[in-house]
Each structure stands twice: as structure tokens, then as C-alpha cells.
């Protein structure tokens, strides 16, 4: 049986004379490996896509580099909604490098307090991590 490769093409250069970027799905799968391929959808949902808000300051590059952590592996194993949302919250805390915090609300309060004390300007609320409740919805989209 012969399988055909799927090619992904970027439309980022649409309307320009530059040649669009193209990726082979099979080659990408080989390079990334099965575990990273399995979490790409979750990674995309947590970092935002065309129809979703993204977590401020956490781009796909940062998330992808941290995707090899045990938290992401746990995300794949969680089958119950509560498990998925709890693990997702730990992932988002890790993305903000707040590993010493047990939950997003604690991290959010710490960052808010830190910015309030150290910043002359007012705190831009969108620069803080999402609340635990908001993260729950990110995680359910990712699953």
C-alpha cells in the first residue's frame, strides 16, 4: 500500500512574490517523535490559535521548548475532565516559570504584587497569567 504525504503550506506570504513555506507532515512527524506529535493540538490550543485567545507572553516557541516536560506527558494521560484541568494548570504555571507556585491564582497574585511594588506604571492586567477558571477553558479546548 502506498501512502501519500500531506504537505502543509503557510499562507503568511500571500499577496507577495515570496515563495510560501511548505512542510512535509511525515517528515515533521519523524523529527518530532510520537509524544510531541500527540500533544501538538493541546500545545496549539494553550498558546492560542485563530479563534482563541492566547496566554499573554507565552508564544508557541517557548511552549514547544517546554513541551518535553513531564507535565505535558501527564496531560496526555489525564482522561477525566478534572485531571485534564489540573494538569493543564500545572503546565501553564510551568510556562510562566512559576514552578514554586501550586496554582495559577497564587502565581497571578505574586506577579501582580511584584509588578505593583516594582513598577511605576499601572499593571497591565493582560500581562498576568490567566486565572485558574480561565485556564480551565483553555485546557478543555486543548483536550
Concatenate the DSSP letters of all residues of 22-63 into one string: EEEHHHHHHHH-HHHHHHHHHHHHHH--TTS---TT--HHHH
Q: What is the pLDDT of residues 2-50, one digit of tens each?
A: 678 888 887 766 667 778 888 888 888 888 888 788 777 777 777 776 6
Residue ranges covered by each domain of the chain: 1-32, 33-142
Integer angstrom CA distances of residue 17 from 7, 12, 13, 14, 34: 20, 12, 8, 8, 36
**Euclidean distance between CA atoms 56 and 127, whole angstroms:** 6
CA 108 to chain centre: 17
Mean pLDDT across the stretch 99-107?
87
Query: For the whole prediction, is pTM greater than 0.85?
Result: no
Under 8 Å between Cβ of 138 and 111: no
Amino acid at each position: 500500500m502506498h501512502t501519500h504525504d500531506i504537505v502543509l503550506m503557510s499562507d503568511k506570504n500571500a499577496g507577495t512574490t515570496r515563495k510560501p513555506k511548505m512542510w512535509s507532515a511525515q517528515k515533521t512527524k519523524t523529527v518530532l517523535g510520537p509524544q510531541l506529535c500527540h500533544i501538538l493540538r493541546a500545545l496549539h490550543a494553550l498558546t492560542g490559535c485563530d479563534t482563541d485567545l492566547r496566554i499573554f507572553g507565552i508564544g508557541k516557541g517557548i511552549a514547544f521548548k517546554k513541551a518535553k516536560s513531564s507535565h505535558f506527558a501527564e496531560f496526555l494521560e489525564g482522561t477525566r475532565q478534572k485531571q485534564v484541568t489540573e494538569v493543564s494548570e500545572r503546565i501553564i504555571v510551568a510556562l510562566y516559570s512559576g514552578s514554586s507556585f501550586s496554582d495559577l491564582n497564587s502565581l497571578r497574585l505574586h506577579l501582580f504584587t511584584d509588578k505593583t511594588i516594582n513598577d511605576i506604571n499601572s499593571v497591565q492586567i493582560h500581562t498576568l497569567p490567566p486565572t485558574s477558571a480561565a485556564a480551565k477553558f483553555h485546557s478543555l479546548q486543548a483536550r
